[in-house]
Structure 1
């Protein structure tokens, strides 16, 4: 699925201060619940007129000033701390009334007050009063925290470096390089149908918003530069496929999107971006498009959060899949940090032998019942590639040697 163009929105300076925080939010126990306002107001922080970024400014400045939004309201820009600086970051999901959020996630306030609309915060905990404890990220708040009702939080992104490293459960899958489909996974031993081949937690979660993807990407880059031990998430992300099998049209759309992000990021004051920076932005968006999976953080909400994995994201597509994916969410326990919540299980769809390819269906479950022409059209429109799996080649009576490289399968992720 390609990302739709964004609407232009007017910019105006804003400047909420700690004194503008409504008393209803509270900074301790027993604060009354705030009323959720209807309607959303656009708020963007204006950059100084003389500020024109250079290549060196990009990583540092974007984290502070990138203030784009494709959803109905504009999120306020603020200085984001890197993943290594965030407090309470752990391999757990904090449970609220309905939401499941990793500690340290970036969220945005909505419906609290006009001055704080879209203010970035990080998740600290879920309070026993039934509200989320969040810490304001902008320096003007000097690290202050507030208790916020769940309906006043909008998820942005979460970077989880501890999940970017390999773990013992993934040793049953081997990364291999093949001439026809590039990188992919194979079983390292035999498995019976229904058994778990491996399981994994995502190292990157983002809202379905290209701007949050860019924020998360620059956050990872800044973290990797500041603390070498925190660069593992950057390495994991950049080692994933950058949409190698995308059609030329799909790649052109994403490149145009990257250029648009640059212009919006600099408020149109900069000249054309340097080739290296445009290439970095394009690569980040392509990797997100090609390697993301839907993940639901609330049982009563439409799934609009995407997860990127170190190994699961390397599963190639096939219309005759050998594995299936299942996300496991534990029962809600408001106020508790629940380990391994949202784990993705990769289960054998049939008996597997050592060396068998681990491939999954990117599309709807019913896609496997469609004729080859319908399957290919769906995958081309939704994932940007024409399927060349053995089943499609056989049913279409084609020879892969007669196909061009642009038709090779790749790790594009289906957005359902």
Structure 2
């Protein structure tokens, strides 16, 4: 049997790992025979050397089979999910799951925690008092059957190999590896027993994939491995060159979700991404017969309040309050200090360093710099103006929510440095690329 250091050396030197070596690595992730430092070294070797299709398939299947495999026998609708490669202000999962569920799909969404500068769906849900992101598999399946959707974090028994690798990637600068992203996403999604998966591959300066070529490569990697494993999968590439929506930060994004579902605020870029992904999920599952049919169904469940009702039922079923939609701040903490951030120049908001905004949220305490670290759910930014808006010096372009005045001042300065102004209206990136 190969020792961990021998397996690392094979990949470090640019050679292909056979199935036996990959299975030994996966086993080591679960039983601890690979130390944290060895896992980090392996992740860096894969990051630098890449993986062949066979290696990606073997790693994906190995991690998938490292724990429970879910089945959904007896359910009277399609089992469908969406996954995003992550960004800043990406709260799409909440709206999307509620919409698709309200249209007749079952959405068992197994989400991740924050990675690097990107926020985590599970962390956002934990902003809500009492919400349990780690129910048992039995409870998870019962809630999906009863409500139609449930969004949880990885349980110890679902792709446990990925759970450990995921946390170490976060702190070893190996988040952006296409093979590791592919295996991480699909090990969880294949273990969840899906009929259909829609991928939201983010591209831009706030995404893991900063170039369109890399985003297309990741989309191709994921769809080829997933479709090859028997799960109908479509990838849509969407923009992450600015914060998605008007907020970045855990509780603030949950509040924006409520405003979206109730129709009080639907930021246009965010709405367009939600619509595109929901349409793909409805079409790929047969829940809609055409683009127009899908869009009509999406509008109907939003306008009627059915999507909001489904979302609130899920919150209550997983331990949160039963009145979250009507009283979101009754179940979430507000930050101690809220400060306005003002434009430093006249002109158009032309560019945003979106990754830096995400790191500023981490710096406020809204993300992690080490595995297992506690998160301050109340901090972040809101009322963020979109790019392309013309402002005068001194106008408010965002607000910072912080634990102290000193932290608010530092984050305000950091946010201001992320914004570039221009005299002419800027040419903005498309919201949907493919």
**Could you state the TM-score of these two structures normalised by the residue count of structure 1?**
0.29
More helix by share: 2
